[in-house]
Structure 1
Amino acid sequence: MFFRRSKPRPLLLALAAALTLIYLLYPSPAPPPPEAPESVRLAWHMNHLPPRPTFRKSTIDFRRRRPENPPPLPASKPPPPRPDPLPRIQHDFPEAPPPGSRAEARRREVRALFVRDWAAYCDHAWAADALLPLSLGPTEQFNGWAATLVDSLDTLYLLGLRAEFDEAVERVAQINFGSSTAARVNTFETTIRYLGGLLSAHDLSGRPVLLRKAVELGDLLLVAFDTPSRLPVDWIDFRRAKDGRGLLPEGRVVSAAAGTLSLEMTRLSQVTGDPRYFDAVSRISHLFAAGQNDTAIPGLWPMYVSMSHEDVVTGRFFTLGGGADSLYEYLPKMHLLLGGGDPIYESMTRGFLNATSAHLLFRPMLPPGVEDDILISGNVQVDREGNSPVLEPETEHLTCFVGGAFALAGRLLSDPVAVENGARLARGCAYLYRAFASGIMPERLTMVPCPPSASPSASASYPSCEWNSTLYDEETQARREWKEGTPLPFSSIKDPRYLLRPEAIESLFVLYRVTGDEAFADMAWEMFMAVRGGTSTGVASAAVKDVTEVGELEKMDYMESFWFAETLKYFYLIFSPPSLISLDEYVLNTEAHPFRLPSTR
């Protein structure tokens, strides 16, 4: 039987032509800005979904791997939030600044720098772990899983770069976690950069493919816990992991490596409903909690701990710098993510605040004419006999996170003294930037602390002091790291590099959101201008070899993924409307990946 094709009707042809003309003359509206209400953004995206990414399943399904040391059952689930809500964190800001405001102009400048550097990565190192900004080539630092792409997903989304975000998601959906360019996988870096990046981008965009990849990676990371004690290894032997053979935890690791896995694995359990990830990291948290008051400085943990001996107590060197920093950072953040549901995080946070305030913080001696009320965090060494801790007034860029940590913890625990000390610490790191001719803080330096007061009052536990040239000369002569041209008030510059680090702007961002004080935004702008000028190659941004030099700064062929994931993101957020990644709606991991809080507070 044949059907005769009907002739096209003139009315239908006219209607089609009219619709085509409307489409051409009135294109679909642009997406709402990231700071728009979530309901508005989700509604727009549901009606403008991009093509579904091509998901590529990894060649090894680590979920099917039979562990040699299976965890006891049933697995511990993330606890529900406590009945009474946690205190509000963010300052009660007025309405968002109008277009054309100073904050908006500053935000555009940050976005433009990101766009330039992202174009360099796409042109010269697409899908590589990182860009070499001087030689303009790729480098693989973290197993060849496109670290910069994954680490930058949420930044692309927040900056409204939707086409670039969709392109990155398409490539990330094809990462093969069953193959690695390196023989070993670092548990810490893989957790904070890769797993954190996938979870955050999923929380912001709702793309299912990102959660599928996060689950694949979470199952790989569970291999790190396949040890007799169920405590993690610092490095996963990839061949043993694939073959199903168990691993042995190391006898000496930095405390941050073991203590900075909780936020990401907990969020993965919250999103998937699978308790295995939270169950794995909860053992570490309870180990640290049990030993917190048994160390040489109760409330703090030594920089080095032993997973093989389940020992987080033995050790005499204490710091908030590299190797320990994010262990402390995650204490109030876990308290926030769980809505106060597990009391150990509140207890550990209070212990950390008290011990740090008593032993690590100091007020530096400043030159005449400088009257900043600032604090610096140093290091402490305890001798073998357990005598009184001795302060070493050395600080580093990594330590600058602590201002934000103090302010966040202070708000959560209703502790205004902690918030004020957080502000003084954040101002301290801002001072360390502007004290150099380049306007950039070096990686590591030392200062001369003010002598302790005979009887400090409760409101002046860190008393100020006048400049003492004799004391300064004695300190600088005692340090072999001192070099000609070191500016006042620094007694030595132990490492003059700037590695594009984010910790100082991170604390300024948190303090601005907590206090609403515009001075912190102004400090951030001054810092951004110095960093942009001092690191620019004309094509991208590069680390600096020596920030103490005057004039053009010598660059290094180095630009890690955290430049996009953290540094530029924090610069962008501090000049954005406070509704964008509100600290009452999100908690940011140590790589600045925002996780949505599961409970409304």
Structure 2
Amino acid sequence: MRRIKVPRGARPYQPMSRQHKRTLAWLLFGTITFGAYYLWSARPVDPLAVPFESHETYMNGHSRHMSLTSRQSYDWKQAPFIHKIDSYIQLPNEPVQTLPKVQFDFPLESPSQRRWREERRTAVRDEFKRSWESYREFAWGQDELKPIEGKGLDTFGGWGATLVDSLDTLWIMGFKEYFDEAVEAVAAIDFGKSDMKAVSVFETTIRYLGGLLSAYDLSHEPVLLEKAIQLGEMLYRAFDTTNNTPQSYMNIEDAKIAGRSEFPAEVNMCFACLGSLTMEFTRLAQITSQAKYYDIVAKITIMMDRTQNSTQVPGLWPTIINAATEQFDQSRFFSIGALADSTYEYFPKMHALLGGVDPVYEKLYKDSALMIDKHMLFRAAIPDEKKGADLLFCGDIYSDTDGELKLHSDLQHLTCFIGGMFGLAGRLFQNDNHIDLGAKLTKGCIYAYAAMPTGIMPETFSMMPCASRTSCMWNEAAWHDAAINSCGNKNSDNNVADDASTTCRPPPRGFKEISNSRYLLRPEAIESVFIMYRITGDRSYLDHAWDMFTSVVTASRTPYANGQIRDVTIVARPAQRGGTLSKDDNVEDKMESFWTAETLKYFYLVFSREDMISLDDWVFNTEAHPFRRPRGRA
């Protein structure tokens, strides 16, 4: 037998030891385990978490609605318009500007970050699905679902407010079958009549017209545009007044009467009712190329521009104005909350919607923002002074007969949109200070949520303003006295004994008074959280959004959907099925359409991919309906 010669210096082969084999086995096992975990964690939790273009292709493919026609008992194009308009202000036809980038350049997520986010997005979609399926079963075609009784309710014209208001939510969340079903139902809505004597022009515009235009922008379904035009023609008649300012409420049947006289302009009108129709009518004009829709709101903008420096607080407009005389200097009360909010909100958004070609909206925003920052924003005294330095709140102001401005530290959930407004405008107008203001205002609302026992901000409350934004010492005794006094005032108003310990719970430390402890399922706080997250990329906003979502769902869930909360300062058991509420129940049998149209949509979008309704391509109306922005040209 031939022997193999081993080279000098080489070690002969030796079998592996038992320890060596165990080590290699563990290394192999670890490699396989790590690889399997990586592939598992990299797999999307949400199968709908695809690029926006893929989502758009899926939702708009194989449409069944091309042959659908709008069913209407009355053609609003034939309705009289008495106060004739001789010439129209034309839509700006200059080349659209390339506006500054709004969204943050998001880095690539780790698999665990993506999985965390998509799990939460799926949870939001499941909550929406639960509400929507109950609406389909118990209130289909009606304005609202009663979430405890499981019945329908008509509150906004009887045309299916929740149905129309939620169209774009269905599309965005990927409910293709439900969206197709809803489009067919919308085709049958008859805007030619209503069981209600008069309808709110503002609410009908932002919910119905905004909802139809947005759903058309997303889906390109022709019947949705047909419906939007009919509704736009109806609402256009609300401007048939002595000076073409809109009515607050419109009588549908009166508007049809041939030979009627023009409607009188209003002497006491909310500022939001006057100035918050611009986005919807402008988008309708852009889509249809009909200048009359833009003209009717452009004239309101000219009026606001002319009067901005003639009010009791130059730069701002009061909550109540005289539309008939076009003089806005009578009221002395100014707020960014109820009765005024969305007019201010629309200034930077109109700048984006028009592609920046009309400088008036930038001017209106900058002049008003300067006064809001100077007179309305304040730092509040809270126990954590370091945290307090990073929070801002927006109050109201009153101009007395001597011209002195007095800050009212009364706060509204409605006002929480202002953080997003400052943030968005800061990007559009390249003002980093306004982005910082937006962040601090948004964090103020986040703080108000977290401070309540339920984790939910109340409808209205007040805090103790600091003398300065730069320094503020916490004073426990001053807060205690203010809180007890507010309890005493409540007891006195209710003719009960002045015993705060039994008849009034003092508010959390830092809060002076909670004047309305309800939560109406409102979206304004999560709206600002969503915008600030998309603008800054700060992932802490995702944590805050999840805390807010879980708190709201826990407190508001009913057997069928979600209802308004009676008191956010107490943690109570949920309302029971069957329609009879006991005094211990903390949920009201009320669910406005903005729950599915706005609140859940913003929660969903904050946990979505950043290209799902990018703020560089879309701009939201005040009811969270995204309108497609025009493409800029270099």
**TM-score (structure 2 length as normaliser):** 0.85
1:546 counterpart SS class: coil
2:514 counterpart SS class: strand
Distance 1:110 1:463 in 2: 39
Taking structure 1 as reference, are residues 262 and 96 closer, same or farther at Cα in structure 2, changes over 3 Å only? Answer: farther
**1:545 correspondence with 2:566:** yes
Higher Cα Rg, which structure: 2
2:528 alignment partner, one of 507, 526, 531: 507
**1:398 correspondence with 2:430:** no
Instruction: Give the alignment of 1:239-258 within 5 angstroms.
Output: 239-244=253-258, 245=260, 246-258=262-274
Taking structure 1 as reference, are residues 58 and 529 closer, same or farther at Cα in structure 2, changes over 3 Å only? Answer: same
1:293 counterpart SS class: coil
Q: What's the CA shift for 1:80?
A: 3.4
1:131 counterpart SS class: strand
- Provide Cα deviations, 1:67-99, integer angstroms capped at 9, x if missing partner: 1101122x1222135664211111011246759
1:164 alignment partner, one of 161, 173, 178: 178
Taking structure 1 as reference, are residues 444 and 46 closer, same or farther at Cα in structure 2, changes over 3 Å only? Answer: closer
Distance 1:363 1:81 in 2: 43
- Provide Cα deviations, 1:19-51, integer angstroms capped at 9, x if missing partner: xxxxxxxxxxxx99485243x455556652225
Partner of 2:294: 278
Distance 2:383 2:573 in 1: 26
Counterpart of 2:611 in structure 1: which amino acid? Answer: S
Partner of 2:89: 76
**1:91 correspondence with 2:104:** yes
1:199 alignment partner, one of 209, 213, 225: 213
**1:125 correspondence with 2:139:** yes
Counterpart of 1:256 in structure 2: which amino acid? Answer: A
Instruction: Give the alignment of 1:195-234 within 5 angstroms.
Output: 195-234=209-248
**1:319 correspondence with 2:320:** no
Q: What's the CA shift for 1:293?
A: 1.4
Partner of 1:374: 391
2:619 alignment partner, one of 587, 590, 597: 587
- Provide Cα deviations, 1:411-441, integer angstroms capped at 9, x if missing partner: 1111100000000000000000000110011
Q: Quick check: 59-68 or 173-182, which moved more? A: 59-68
Distance 1:35 1:417 in 2: 35
- Provide Cα deviations, 1:191-210, integer angstroms capped at 9, x if missing partner: 00000000000000010110
Partner of 1:597: 629
Distance 2:232 2:436 in 1: 38
Taking structure 1 as reference, are residues 47 and 582 closer, same or farther at Cα in structure 2, changes over 3 Å only? Answer: closer
Contact 1:32 1:44 in 2 (8 A): no
Contact 2:96 2:632 in 1 (8 A): no
Counterpart of 1:394 in structure 2: which amino acid? Answer: D
Partner of 1:466: 473
Distance 2:109 2:283 in 1: 30
Partner of 1:425: 441
Counterpart of 2:349 in structure 1: which amino acid? Answer: K
Partner of 1:12: none
Q: What's the CA shift for 1:370?
A: 6.4
**1:113 correspondence with 2:127:** yes
Partner of 1:36: 51
CA RMSD after TM alignment: 1.9
Q: What's the CA shift for 1:385?
A: 2.6
- Of all paired residues, the percent bearing the same amino acid is 43
Contact 1:82 1:340 in 2 (8 A): no
Contact 1:59 1:176 in 2 (8 A): yes
Distance 2:60 2:307 in 1: 49
2:281 counterpart SS class: helix
Partner of 1:351: 367
Q: Quick check: 252-261 or 64-73, which moved more? A: 64-73
Contact 1:145 1:176 in 2 (8 A): yes
- Provide Cα deviations, 1:463-517, integer angstroms capped at 9, x if missing partner: 2312112322343355324832421111110000000000000000000000010
Distance 2:50 2:512 in 1: 44
Contact 1:60 1:242 in 2 (8 A): no
1:493 counterpart SS class: strand
Distance 2:141 2:110 in 1: 37
Partner of 1:238: 252
Contact 1:223 1:241 in 2 (8 A): yes
Partner of 1:17: none
Contact 2:141 2:160 in 1 (8 A): yes
Distance 2:287 2:540 in 1: 37
Contact 2:310 2:328 in 1 (8 A): no
Partner of 2:516: 495
Contact 1:81 1:599 in 2 (8 A): no
Contact 2:355 2:632 in 1 (8 A): no
Q: What's the CA shift for 1:591?
A: 0.2
Distance 1:98 1:265 in 2: 43
Distance 1:214 1:88 in 2: 30
Contact 1:34 1:580 in 2 (8 A): no
- Provide Cα deviations, 1:541-575, integer angstroms capped at 9, x if missing partner: 01000111134361001100000000000000000
The runs of 5 or more residues in structure 1 that have no matched partner are 1-30, 453-461
**TM-score (structure 1 length as normaliser):** 0.90
Q: What's the CA shift for 1:358?
A: 0.2
**1:563 correspondence with 2:605:** no
Taking structure 1 as reference, are residues 463 and 46 closer, same or farther at Cα in structure 2, changes over 3 Å only? Answer: closer
Counterpart of 1:270 in structure 2: which amino acid? Answer: Q
1:446 counterpart SS class: strand
2:308 counterpart SS class: helix
Contact 2:479 2:509 in 1 (8 A): no
Partner of 1:310: 326
1:408 alignment partner, one of 420, 424, 429: 424
Taking structure 1 as reference, are residues 35 and 594 closer, same or farther at Cα in structure 2, changes over 3 Å only? Answer: farther
Partner of 1:364: 380
